[in-house]
Amino acid sequence: MKYLDEYRDESAVRAVLDEIHRVTTRPWVIMEVCGGQTHSIIRSGLDRLLPDAITLVHGPGCPVCVTPLELIDKAIAIAARPEVIFASYGDMLRVPGSGKDLFAVKSEGADVRVVYSPLDALTIARANPEKVVVFFGVGFETTAPANGMAVYQAHKQSIDNFAMLVSHVTVPPAMMAILSSPTNRVQGFLAAGHVNTVMGFAEYEPIAARFKVPIVVTGFEPLDIANGILMAVRQLEESRHEVENAYARSVRREGNAAAQAIIREVFEPCDRAWRGIGVIPMSGYRLREPYARYDAERRFAGVSAISAEESGVCISGLVLQGVKRPDECPAFGTLCTPQRPLGATMVSSEGACAAYYKYGRYMDDAGAPV
Amino acid sequence: MVKNVDNPLDFEGFTCPLPLRDYPQIVMGHGSGGRMSADLVRHLFVPLFDNAALNRLDDQAVLEMQLDGGRLAFTTDSFVVRPLFFPGGDIGKLAVHGTVNDLAVSGARPLYLSAGFILEEGLPMDDLCRVAASMAGAAHEAGVQIVTGDTKVVDRGHGDGVYINTSGVGVVPPGVDVAAQNARPGDVVIVSGTLGDHGVAVMSVREGLRFDAAVVSDTAPLHGLVAAMLAAGPDIHAMRDPTRGGLAASLNEIAAASGVGVLLDERAIPVRPPVRAACEMLGLDPLYVANEGKLVAFVPPGSADAVLDAMRAHPLGAEAAIIGQAVAAHPGIVAARTGIGGSRVVDMPLGVLLPRIC
């Protein structure tokens, strides 16, 4: 397939891997920020082809994983209301709240629907004027423009039976939180190419300078990721700390101006809790005042009182910060599996624990199944 | 398409017979067991499925069967699909092919099917006629008879138009022993063609997810292909038709039942470009997407070439490919060598396939 096969070509990837082996002289810890990258790495087995000196840690860039438990509980409470049609991206449905997940609420009679775009939720609202359609607005800067557009269109078309449960998060504050942590061991970043496609990468330059870490804007195919790692290792070996672009076929420094405009129009930055990590200042989006009537937490006032506590065993917070690997968790694969997840990193197919469970079990360090 | 010129019925051009035309839609009475139920059977199902055992309209079909030292194979499957009609097929075709194929992968020659219908009040009579005609065509093509059946009607809103259950019996010839627990280390793993076509074809027309993919369902009866394979290699160890759960589920089932490992070469697995593209777009893995006209076989190395040649000489196996082998290492685990030379585990799918957020 054009634009994909070239980036999955064994000899091309092998050539970059050879170069990584050649330039690496010391141990380095590099974090891939995005869950999509984690999946591609584990699915292709790329991590097992790197020099032993390179440690990849899996970042917090999985929207399903970082959505706080409390918000899942709010989603469940809203979805259970008889007047509500609850619309969501598919993989949010299996995320366990304190008691159950959205699939369970659906089986109890709630109208929960999988949509592929927030604009589909708007279409459902138009078709069901007697119901309130609530869309679960999760994601990073990648999904924010489309989610913002749905709210903007609802406003323009005066569709009043539409609301959004907003749990948007942004990447740069999370990177800074990780770098500021006393337990941090991340020395370089592969930034999430889809996020940079929207936002550009100018806002990463002060982070690279302040924390003296290389940041390489990286795509999602094995060759993209290998290239990103090579550029990060070269910087580390040469004591440079710049923002470089290894995903130029998609990302420009200034990003997508139209997408940024709709985000600015509809959303404003706010403090946001990350599942397993805690509250990171100014790390999320909420609806601006002119759009506040589409805020599901305001529309269903009772849900704002809901609060919840995480499992004590689960180390997903440490996994999301790159401090621990999924298989270092005592519950991994035993108490905690994709069927019965304790933490969100086991739930989403993009979560680091799920990726380890799905593709990495039974493999020895040489990459052979054991 | 019914190609047999001797066949007196034009299944595709079949129109609703009187007196059913008086009811443009299924009503509760069609499941009452009274005259309306009888009309549905006599005027719709009997003329289409037409065979001596069914036409007697007894409470059961009484069948003549010669086992000749062979063994009886018996299976059942229920069919729920939305939409009822999709590119390359419909629920009726699936209901015949699915049960025929479950029999076929044991090496059996399929003979007789039952058909149970759960109809939703309000189902257009024309849709039911199309589905039943499609079943009749598929059964005719597969050389099986639909000899007994049942119809129930549920209130509007309590079904997706029509659900179908088919059960089937067939005869496994003497000497043939194909079973999931028979795979052995060293066996060559062969698939009969491209993967994921059916699942992507259905998804491409599903409400809320229409996309323009030049993909049609691969639904097809596989017993002819299986017969050709067994003629070339009577010692085939195991076969499955990878429907729901895709190839990944079938391979995991065989690996677990036989206590062997499976090592795939990801690059050798045939997937059509539009199927790959659709899966990329939706964040799905073609190894987990449903098929309705494909099989995977574990063949002893000595027979593998002959079986592969026989498959490629059959229209339903033209794109057959060797995709890996059974190994003694990692019993019960399916692993794959990836496109870039890495390795990964191909796990049993968990639940429904969920497209990813981004």
Residue at a domain's end among B172, B191, B210: B172
pLDDT exceeds 80 at position B297: yes
Write out B285-304 in H/E/C secondary structure.
CHHHCCCCCCCEEEECHHHH
Task: Indicate if B272 and B305 belong to the same structural domain.
Answer: yes
A82 — alpha (psi -120 to 50), left (phi > 0) or beta? alpha
Q: Is the confidence metric ipTM above 0.95 for this complex?
A: no
Task: Indicate if B59 and B157 belong to the same structural domain.
Answer: yes
Q: What is the per-residue pLDDT for B142?
A: 95
Task: Indicate if B230 and B284 belong to the same structural domain.
Answer: yes
Task: Indicate if A172 and A321 belong to the same structural domain.
Answer: no
Closest CA to A154 of A266, A26, A21: A266
Give the separation between CA A294 and CA A155, rounded to whole angstroms.
Answer: 8
Residue A335's domain comprises 316-360
Asked if B199 and B293 touch (Cβ cutoff 8 Å), the reply is: no
Task: Indicate if A130 and A253 belong to the same structural domain.
Answer: yes
User: Would B357 be classed as within a structural domain?
Assistant: no
Choose the closest CB to B357 out of A94, A143, A358.
A143
Residues on chain B bordering chain A, Cβ-to-Cβ distance under 8 angstroms: 208-209, 261, 263, 273, 276-277, 280, 283, 329-330, 333, 335, 338-345, 347, 350-351, 354-358
User: Would A369 be classed as within a structural domain?
Assistant: no
pLDDT exceeds 60 at position B7: no
Task: Indicate if A221 and A260 belong to the same structural domain.
Answer: yes
pLDDT exceeds 70 at position B163: yes
Average model confidence (pLDDT) across chain B: 90
User: Would B292 be classed as within a structural domain?
Assistant: yes
Lowest pLDDT segment from A85-99, B103-117, B137-151, B199-213: B199-213
Q: What is the per-residue pLDDT for B3?
A: 40
Task: Indicate if B91 and B202 belong to the same structural domain.
Answer: no
Q: pLDDT, tens digit, for every residue of A119-139?
A: 999 999 999 999 999 999 999
pLDDT exceeds 60 at position A368: no
Q: pLDDT, tens digit, for every residue of B227-267?
A: 999 999 999 999 999 999 999 999 999 999 999 999 999 99
Asked if A321 and A178 touch (Cβ cutoff 8 Å), the reply is: yes
State the average pLDDT over residues B268-284. 89
pLDDT exceeds 80 at position B29: yes
Residue B62's domain comprises 20-172
Phi, psi of A287 (to 5 degrees): -70, 140
User: Would A367 be classed as within a structural domain?
Assistant: no
Pick among A1, A20, A62, A117 to test the B interface (most B CBs inside 10 A): A1
Q: What is the per-residue pLDDT for B281?
A: 81
At which residue do the structure tokens 């189902």 appear? B123
Kindly report whether the peptide bond that precedes residue B17 is cis, defined as omega within 30 degrees of 0. Answer: no
Asked if A291 and A158 touch (Cβ cutoff 8 Å), the reply is: no
Interchain proximity A357–B277, CB inside 8 Å: no
pLDDT exceeds 90 at position A80: yes
Residue A180 buriedness (CB in 10 A; 0-12 / 13-18 / 19+):
exposed
Q: pLDDT, tens digit, for every residue of B37-78?
A: 888 999 999 999 999 999 999 999 999 888 889 999 999 999
Lowest pLDDT segment from A226-230, A345-349, B180-184, B290-294: A345-349
User: Would B10 be classed as within a structural domain?
Assistant: no
User: Would B2 be classed as within a structural domain?
Assistant: no
Give the separation between CA B192 and CA B228, rounded to whole angstroms.
Answer: 12
Choose the closest CB to B345 out of A115, A338, A360.
A360
Q: pLDDT, tens digit, for every residue of A259-310?
A: 999 999 999 999 999 887 889 999 999 999 999 999 999 999 888 777 777 7
Q: What is the per-residue pLDDT for A347?
A: 75
Angle A107-A115-A288 (CA atoms, 0-180°, nearest 5)?
A: 110
Average model confidence (pLDDT) across chain A: 90
User: Would A370 be classed as within a structural domain?
Assistant: no
Counting every residue written for chain B, the total comes to: 358
Question: Count of CB contacts below 8 A, A vs B?
Answer: 118
CATH code (residue A253): 3.40.50.11740
Residue at a domain's end among B152, B172, B192: B172
Residue B175 buriedness (CB in 10 A; 0-12 / 13-18 / 19+):
exposed
Q: What is the per-residue pLDDT for B351?
A: 66
Angle B266-B188-B172 (CA atoms, 0-180°, nearest 5)?
A: 120
pLDDT band at residue A322 under the 50/70/90 scheme = confident
User: Would B11 be classed as within a structural domain?
Assistant: no
Task: Indicate if A299 and A332 belong to the same structural domain.
Answer: no
Task: Indicate if B24 and B149 belong to the same structural domain.
Answer: yes
User: Would A334 be classed as within a structural domain?
Assistant: yes
Give the separation between CA A206 and CA B245, rounded to whole angstroms.
Answer: 47
Q: How many domains does chain A have?
A: 2
The radius of gyration computed from the CA coordinates of chain A, to the nearest angstrom, equals 21
Q: How many domains does chain B have?
A: 2
Give the separation between CA A100 and CA A93, rounded to whole angstroms.
Answer: 10
